[in-house]
Amino acid sequence: MSEKVWFITGASRGFGRIWAEDALKRGDKVVATARKLADIAPLADEFGDAVLPLVLDVTSRDQVAEVVATAHAHFGRLDIVVNNAGYALIGAIEEASDAEVRAEFDTNVFGPLSVIQAALPLLRAQGCGHVIGVSSVQGVAAGPITGLYNASKWAFEALHESLSKEVAQFGIKVTLLEPNAYATDFSSQSSLKLTTGIDAYAETRAQVFAGGASTKFGDPAATSASLFKVVDSEEPPLRFFLGTEGLPVARAAYAERLAVWESWEDASNAAQGQPGI
């Protein structure tokens, strides 16, 4: 089957919009979802019946279930389910309010979980399907001032890794996309929220923002071809970096972790105690 049916959250802009358009251009069908219908309705003007625009707030579990069912009924199947909707909460751990943290996890973790749980019975019945989770290089290594966003993506990563081990038996594939910084509007106010600052972290915050100002952004239009290679593969990877930043970050992070674990190996082993005691 060459033609695929995509279900994409957060399709109004950024990666979601680019992937929806490029999937349609290559002859696939797309269920494009976003919070506002006006943001995705133009896709139908351009691509006609090949696209189904639907309003979806991923934080509404009931709406997720309804929209996933509608999408499946409309096209008769779902081949690729892309959890792309999300945003970054920026601020020190101490600075974030309970409401801000819960909102971050509602969108970045519980929303995608609702989509997965709504889609899985349909994918199992099909005996196939591919769940794509849009994570981040920051789901591999955490840094200051982005800790709550990191935490949401680390949870997101664990969710998909466990999922991959549970659903392979049903012919369902799982891939985590881990992009570095791209020239999308992810740094706009709609995708990035700032906590109220505490003076004690002002210097750290300034250093992080200064570092971000020198970031070399990737071209988001260049990501579609790589994504299509992943979804068209018979054996897609569980994790896939988008861009050049991820692998060097992972190498450094895991080298440091291994070095620390190994330096404390004797103390770790001593904590095992004596067998049978």
135 is catalytic: yes
Using CA atoms, how far apart are residues 44 and 42, in angstroms rounded to an integer? 5
User: How long is the chain?
Assistant: 277
Complete DSSP assignment for 140-165: TS--TT-HHHHHHHHHHHHHHHHHHH
165 is catalytic: no
Annotated catalytic residue: which of 87, 149, 182, 201? 149
Using CA atoms, how far apart are residues 160 and 181, in angstroms rounded to an integer? 21
Annotated catalytic residue: which of 4, 29, 114, 135? 135
Using N-to-C axis directions, what is the helix angle for 14-25 and 37-47, rounded to 10°? 20
Tokens 């750290």 found at: 204
Q: Which two tokens stand for residue 74?
A: 């409309």
Annotated catalytic residue: which of 29, 114, 152, 153? 153
Q: How many CB atoms lie within 10 A of CB 247?
A: 14
Give the phi and the psi of residue 234 in degrees, each rounded to 5. Answer: -70, -30
CA-wise closest residue to 7 among 72, 65, 60: 72
Using CA atoms, how far apart are residues 250 and 101, in angstroms rounded to an integer? 26
268 is catalytic: no
Using CA atoms, how far apart are residues 176 and 132, in angstroms rounded to an integer? 6
Q: CA dist 73 to 78, 122, 169, Å?
A: 9, 10, 24
> What positions carry a catalytic annotation?
135, 149, 153
